[in-house]
Structure 1
Amino acid sequence: MKIKKLNKSSLLVGLSLAVFSFIMVGPFIWMFITSVKTYEETIRIPMQILPKAIKWINYKIVFEKFPFIILYLNTFLVTIATVAGQLIIVSLAAYAFSRLNFPGRDIIFLLMLGFMMVPGQIFIIPRFNLMVNLGITNTLTALVLPSIFSVFGVFMMKQFFSTIPKELDEAALIDGCGYFRIFWNILLPLTKPGLVSLGIMIMLSTWKELMWPIIVNRNIEKMTLSAGLAMLIGEHTTYYEQVMAGAVISVLPMVIIFVIFQKQFVAGIARSGLKG
C-alpha cells in the first residue's frame, strides 16, 4: 500500500511539474514558431499554429534593419559593468550591516527595506534629471550608474553573511586581520553561491531592462538589445515575425548562461533563506 501511495504521489508531482514547465516554456516555443512564419500567418484568424514553411529570412531582415553587433556589444558591456559594480557595492554594504556595529545600523537597514515597497517608476524622473545635470545622457554610463546598487541585493547577501559563524571574525581579528581583509579573504569566498545567484539575477534583470534605456538614450548606437527591439514595433504596422526573430536572438545568450550556472543559482537561492 505504501508503494502504491508513493507512486501516485510521484506521478501527481511529475504531472504538476510538467504542466508548470510547459506554462513557463510555452511562450518561448511560441516566440520561436512565430519568428519563422510569414506576416500573413502571424495575423491570420483563426490562429495558425505552425507555419507552412520555415522562413529563416526573418532573422536576416532583422540583422539588416538594426546594428545587432553594436546592440549586443552595448548590452554585454552594460550587463558586465552593472553586475561587477553591484556585487562589489552590495557585498560591502551587506558585510557592514551583518558584521559591523555602528550607530543606527538597524534603523538604516529597515529604512532601506522600506524602499523595496516603493515602485521603481517613481524614481525615474529624478534619476533622469540627475543624468541630465551630470551631462551623461545618451551614454552607456547613464545605463550603468543608477543600477549599481540594489536594496534586495543587500538583503540577500546579508542573509548569506548571517549564516557564517562570527567566531571566524573574532579569530581573524586576534591574528591581526583588519575588517576589509576579513571581508575579502575569509567571508567573501564563503558566500560564493550567493554571489553567483545574485549575479545571475542582476544579469537577467539588466539584460531585459527596457524602460530606462529608452528614456535616457535616444541614439540607437547607444541602446541595448531590449530598447533596440522596441524600435521594431511600428506606429501603424508591426511585423510580428521580425519582432519575435529579434527576441529569439536577444534571449539566447541568457538562456545559455542560465543553463550553465543553474546548479549554482538553485544552490544560492536555497541557502539565502538560512539563518546563522
Structure 2
Amino acid sequence: MKTMNYSPEHLTSNRHLFWIAAVLGVIMMAPVAWIIGLSLKDNAELLKGTEAVFAMPYTLVNYANILESSSVFGWFINSMIVAIGQTIGVLLLSSLAGYAFARLEFPFRKTLFIIVLFGLAVPEQAVIIARHQMFNWFDLHNTHIGLILPNLSSAFGVFLMTQFFRAIPKEIDEAAMLDNASTFRIFWKVLLPLTLPAQATLGIFTFLQAWNDYWWPLISATKADMYTLTIGIASSQTNFAQSEGLGFLGAQAVFASLPVVIVYIFFQRHIVTAVSGGAVK
C-alpha cells in the first residue's frame, strides 16, 4: 500500500499555498463585495461619500426600484432572448458541423476544417465594418435576430464537437448501419446523446459569452428598447450621480450578474471539466 508523505516540509508548503490562494480570493472578491455594498445603501448617503458603504444601515430600496423599472426588465428579457438563442444555435450548428468533419467523407474536408480553425485567429473587430454594412442592407439592426446571428458561427464550437465525435469509436456507426439506420438517424439518435458532456461545456461557455457581450450590441442596438443588460447598464452610467445614483447602479449590476451566478452554481462540474480538458477526453 502506498503511503502518503505528511512531512513537516510538505505540510508547510500546503499551508503557504492555502494562504496565497486565500489572499488572491479576497482580492478577486473585493470588487464584488464593493458592488453589493453599494447596492444595499441609500443613494442619498452615497452622495455624501462612498465610505458610507461600510456603515449601517442597509436597505433593499434599490432592488425594489429595479422591480418597478420596466426598462431594466426589458433589457433583461433582451439578454435572455439573445443568450438562449445563441446557445441553441451554436449547439445545433456546431454539432452538425462537428459530425460532418469527424465522420463523413466529402471533398476538401481537411481544407475546410483548417479554414474554420482560422476563425479562432480572426478578431471580431477585423470584420466589424463589413458585418455592420451587411446587417444594415438587410435591415437587421435593432432586432433580436441581428443580435443573435453574428455569433452563431463558433470556430471553437466546431473544433470541440469535431474532436469529441472523433473520440467516439466508429464501430458504433457500423453497428447502426447494420440496422439500416440513415446517416442523420445515426447522428441524431446514436452519436448525439453521447456528446452531452461536450454540449454542456459548449452551451455554458456560449451562454456566458452571449450574456456578457458588449461589443456587437453596442453597435447594432441603437434603440433603448433593444438594449441588452450590458448596454442598458452602461448607458445609465453617464448621469447616474444626478439621477439613479450609485446604489441603483450597483443593484443593476448585481441583478445583471444573477443568471451568470446561477449558471456557475448549477453547472460548475461541467465548467471544471471543460477547463481541465475532460470534455474532449
TM-score scaled to structure 2, two decimals? 0.86
Structure 1: any 5+ residue segments left out of the alignment? none
1:247 paired residue number: 253
RMSD between superposed Cα atoms in Å: 2.5
Matched pairs, number: 273
1:201 paired residue number: 205
Distance 1:68 1:235 in 2: 16
Distance 2:136 2:71 in 1: 26
Q: Specify the code of the residue in structure 2 equivalent to 1:154.
A: V
Residue correspondence of structure 1 range 2-13 to structure 2 within 5 A: 2-4=5-7, 5-13=9-17
TM superposition shift of 1:85: 0.9
Asked if 1:213 is matched to 2:240, the reply is: no
TM superposition shift of 1:49: 5.8
Q: Specify the code of the residue in structure 2 equivalent to 1:266.
A: V
1:264 to 247, 261, 270: 270
CA 1:187–1:133 in 2, change beyond 3 Å: closer, same or farther?
same
Distance 2:216 2:177 in 1: 44
Q: Which moved more, 1:110-119 or 1:183-192?
A: 110-119
Residue correspondence of structure 1 range 123-162 to structure 2 within 5 A: 123-162=127-166
Asked if 1:230 is matched to 2:234, the reply is: yes
Deviations 1:154-194 (A, max 9, x none): 11122221221122122222332222111111111111111
Deviations 1:173-232 (A, max 9, x none): 233222211111111111111111110111111111112112112222222111111121
Q: Specify the code of the residue in structure 2 equivalent to 1:180.
A: F
Q: Is the 8 A contact 2:39 2:248 kept in 1?
A: yes
Q: Is the 8 A contact 1:72 1:224 kept in 2?
A: yes
1:17 paired residue number: 21
Deviations 1:235-259 (A, max 9, x none): 6957433322111011112201220
Distance 2:227 2:52 in 1: 34
CA 1:175–1:236 in 2, change beyond 3 Å: closer, same or farther?
closer
1:114 to 107, 118, 124: 118
Calculate percent identity across the aligned residue pairs.
34
2:108 to 92, 104, 108: 104
Q: Specify the code of the residue in structure 2 equivalent to 1:155.
A: F
Q: Is the 8 A contact 1:39 1:241 kept in 2?
A: no
Distance 1:166 1:22 in 2: 49
Distance 2:82 2:240 in 1: 32
Structure 2: any 5+ residue segments left out of the alignment? none
TM superposition shift of 1:144: 1.1
Asked if 1:188 is matched to 2:195, the reply is: no
1:36 to 12, 33, 40: 40
Q: Is the 8 A contact 1:35 1:244 kept in 2?
A: yes
Q: Specify the code of the residue in structure 1 equivalent to 2:118.
A: G
1:76 paired residue number: 80
Q: Specify the code of the residue in structure 2 equivalent to 1:3.
A: Y
Q: Specify the code of the residue in structure 2 equivalent to 1:102.
A: F
